[in-house]
Structure 1
Amino acid sequence: MRATSSLVALIGLAALGACTPETDTGESNFMNLCAGCHGDDGRGTGPAAVSLDAVPADLTLIAARNGGRFPMVEVMSKIDGYAKGEEHHGAMPAFWPLLEGRTVLVQTGDGILTPTPEPLVELAEYIRSIQRDGTDAE
């Protein structure tokens, strides 16, 4: 009887895991963490933008503002708050506590692969994917 109960419990836990797919992706984290200020489209027009002292950046023009190059490491540093050092100033919060977890190796430009939280890399990759050249008439 005990073995049957244990087996049923294990099957139940396995089924529960199968029914809860991994939903934290770069896009979902963007919608949860960034869209409130930067907008669903990343252009700085989220619902919270009107109550901020500073206008949120248009995240779709990061590469355009950098000569066509998307500065991946700088973007990740801005998101996680590392670029601000110990003191946090400004409207954008540091999201590093929400972006911890499994790490992946990222080339940071110094020839060294740096372990970086995977959710942070995925979020920066999503922001890279929404880049535009800034020439559209919208």
Structure 2
Amino acid sequence: MRSLTLALTLLLAAPASAQDADAGRLLYMDICAACHGLEATGNGPMVEALTIAPPDLTQLSANNDGVFPIVRVVFQVDGRDPMIAHGGPMPIFGPYLDGGASVAMSAPDGTPILTSPAIADLVAYLETIQSEG
């Protein structure tokens, strides 16, 4: 009985899904690179057609005192904190990024942030490409 209780405890304590930065990179290349560029520096081929220049996504940490702004990024991508440039909650990509069971990512203070697995993967990738300076 003890081993069953321990197994259940470990299962419940395990994250629902680990974020996959490689899968996030593929999503980025498929849906974000047109505006943000292959290197995520804001120079994608659609820049000339945009009224608001896309930000350099490699500078998110640098522009936030060296800390990756995970909450802000998740909320902007999933629409809880809509950006004018995206017309609100990224309507073009919403169905592509949504769906599936929610996964929890951790804010710097340990607060769980629930989002879709696709957005969690995308944000994990963005965190890996932050510039050192």
TM-score normalized by structure 2? Answer: 0.71
1:81 matched residue in structure 2: 79
Kept after mapping to 1: 8 A contact 2:36/2:56 = yes
C-alpha displacement at 1:110, in angstroms? 6.3
> C-alpha distance in 2, partners of 1:34/1:54?
15
1:91 matched residue in structure 2: 85
CA shift in 2, pair 1:26/1:45, >3 Å: same
Between structure 1 and structure 2, the one with the greater Rg is 1
> C-alpha distance in 1, partners of 2:68/2:38?
20
* 1:122 matches 2:121: yes
| Deviation sequence 1:73-101 (CA, Å, 0-9, x none) | 110111111102xxxx6222514322122
> C-alpha distance in 2, partners of 1:25/1:45?
22
1:25 matched residue in structure 2: 23
The counterpart of 1:50, out of the listed 48, 51, 72, is 48
2:59 matched residue in structure 1: 61
C-alpha displacement at 1:107, in angstroms? 2.4
- Tell me how large the CA RMSD over aligned residues is: 2.0
What percent identity do the matched residue pairs reach?
36
> C-alpha distance in 2, partners of 1:30/1:56?
14
1:35-46 matches, within 5 Å, as: 35-46=33-44
> C-alpha distance in 2, partners of 1:70/1:111?
14
Q: How many residues align?
A: 107
> C-alpha distance in 1, partners of 2:127/2:107?
16
More relative contact order, 1 or 2 (CA 8 Å, 6+ apart): 2
Gaps of 5+ in 2: 1-21
